[in-house]
Amino acid sequence: MNYKFKNADRLKRNRAIEGETGTEIGFPGGDTLWILAATDANPRWVRFGDDYINGLRRLQRANASDERVKTWQSEWFARLFVLRWDVKGEDDASVPFSQEACRAYLLETDDVIPAIQRTAFDNQNFRGAKVEVVVGEGKGSSTGAPGTGQMLSTGSASP
């Protein structure tokens, strides 16, 4: 039997978005990050995901402080998930993307790490190329097309 389903394509993973172009997540104030998924489509996750998970488990077993966990996540999220961004500095000029700048941004903000975590670990968020973050609720929509931002190469990632 050969069945055809009208909406089947909408229910499939988009591996290009998961591991190459990323999905756009927007924050209040206009900051935008493009992030990759925690799936086998993301070469960074394939190579270093176990290291991140094992380190996080060690921190949890050691009852590490929230600040220490946030520092750990900022280091790893900048390497594993954040592909590029459109973030403004205090002078309203674009801040060039780098892992160092990304870590500083993640450490300075309270809502970005949880939003990345909710998005990257749920591949449903990678069906479309845009997720609008509602701070505090973690709900979003998957509409739009990939935008432009400052891209980081997908070279090696180890803290």
Rg of the chain over Cα atoms, rounded to whole angstroms, equals: 16
Task: Using alpha carbons only, give the angle 80, 86, 91 rounded to the nearest 5 degrees.
Answer: 125
Q: In whole angstroms, what is the distance from residue 92 CA to residue 41 CA?
A: 35
What pLDDT is attached to residue 131?
A: 54
Token readout for 41 is 């489509």
* 133 pLDDT above the threshold of 60: no
**Angle, to 10 degrees, between the axis of helix 112-120 and the axis of helix 99-108?**
110
Contact present, 63 and 57 (Cβ < 8 Å): no
Under the phi-then-psi rule, with left for phi > 0, alpha for psi from -120 to 50, and beta for the rest, what region is 50?
A: alpha
What pLDDT is attached to residue 144?
A: 34
Beta bridge partners of 142: 131
Contact present, 152 and 84 (Cβ < 8 Å): yes
Is residue 123 very low, low, confident or very high in pLDDT (cuts 50, 70, 90)? confident
Residue-range domain boundaries for the chain: 16-125
Question: How many helices and strands (H and E) does the chain possess?
Answer: 5, 5
Task: Indicate the burial class of 87 (C-beta count within 10 angstroms; 0-12, 13-18, 19 or more).
Answer: buried
Q: In whole angstroms, what is the distance from residue 133 CA to residue 124 CA?
A: 14
Quick one: average pLDDT of 117-130?
Answer: 79
* 18 pLDDT above the threshold of 50: yes
Contact present, 86 and 32 (Cβ < 8 Å): yes
Is residue 128 very low, low, confident or very high in pLDDT (cuts 50, 70, 90)? low
* 140 pLDDT above the threshold of 80: no
- How many residues does this entry show for the chain? 159
- Residue-wise pLDDT for 85-110, tens only, equals 999 999 999 999 999 999 999 999 99
Could you give the 3-state DSSP secondary structure of residue 149? coil
What pLDDT is attached to residue 138?
A: 38
- Residue-wise pLDDT for 34-88, tens only, equals 999 999 999 999 999 999 999 999 999 999 999 999 999 999 999 999 999 999 9
